[in-house]
Amino acid sequence: MRLISAYLIGLVFGAGIALSGMINPAKVLNFFDVAGSWDPSLIFVMGGALLVTFVGYRLVPGREQPLLARRFQVPTNSAIDTRLVGGSALFGLGWGIAGFCPGGALPALGTGRSEVMMFVVALIAGMLLTRLAMKMSQRTTNTPSSQHA
């Protein structure tokens, strides 16, 4: 039951990514190209997603617990530090170079296009190497790790 619902939620998420145009790097990069072939569509993606999530999130936590899990697990880390800002800035740099973000690329894998596969392999390499580096520096400095937003 939990797995079926997670699968269906993934399907809805992926369908949203595809329908919205977030799956298409040409469209994503044109959104950011205000000085060139600007395509403002992504404002509507962000607007639609934020509106539904903002309203939905305010209705959900009235419950004691989620329907199929023991508890709500939201990030508790509130530190605004160099790692958050620097990491996010790096993400922006890579997004601007490649045109894919993780949420766009994962559903795009389903089209079987080799370009998506190359992006995702490089993405995973960057993620795993960074995890490894963080683990090694933690062992020496013992700084607390943060959760994913």
Partner 1 sequence: METAFTPLASLAGGALIGLAAVLLMLIHGRIAGATGILTGVLLPTSRDDWAWRAAMLLGMVSAPGFLLLLTGTMPAIEVPVSTIALLIGGFIVGIGVTLGSGCTSGHGVCGMARLSPRSIVATAAFMLVTFATVYVVRHVIGG
Subset of 94-123 contacting partner 1 (CB under 8 A):
94-111, 113, 115-116, 118-123
Give the position of tokens 């620097």: 86
Determine how many CB atoms are found less than 10 A away from the CB of residue 31: 18
Closer by beta carbon to partner 1, 56 or else 142: 56
Closer by beta carbon to partner 1, 118 or else 140: 118
Angle at which helices 41-59 and 2-20 cross, to 10°: 150
69 binds partner 1 (CB under 8 A): yes
| Among 22, 26, 25, residue whose Cα is nearest residue 14 | 22
40 binds partner 1 (CB under 8 A): yes
Local structure of residue 61 (DSSP, 8 states)? G
Region 10-39 residues binding partner 1, contact defined as CB under 8 A: 10-27, 29-30, 32-37, 39
144 binds partner 1 (CB under 8 A): no
Closer by beta carbon to partner 1, 56 or else 140: 56
Q: For the CB of residue 57, give the shortest distance to partner 1 in the complex, in Å.
A: 5
Q: For the CB of residue 77, give the shortest distance to partner 1 in the complex, in Å.
A: 7
Answer whether 31's CB lies under 8 Å from 40's CB. yes
136 binds partner 1 (CB under 8 A): no
* DSSP sequence for 101-146: -HHHHHHHGGGT-HHHHHHHHHHHHHHHHHHHHHHHHHHHH-PPP-
Residue 24: its H or E element: none
3 binds partner 1 (CB under 8 A): yes
Q: For the CB of residue 142, give the shortest distance to partner 1 in the complex, in Å.
A: 18
137 binds partner 1 (CB under 8 A): no
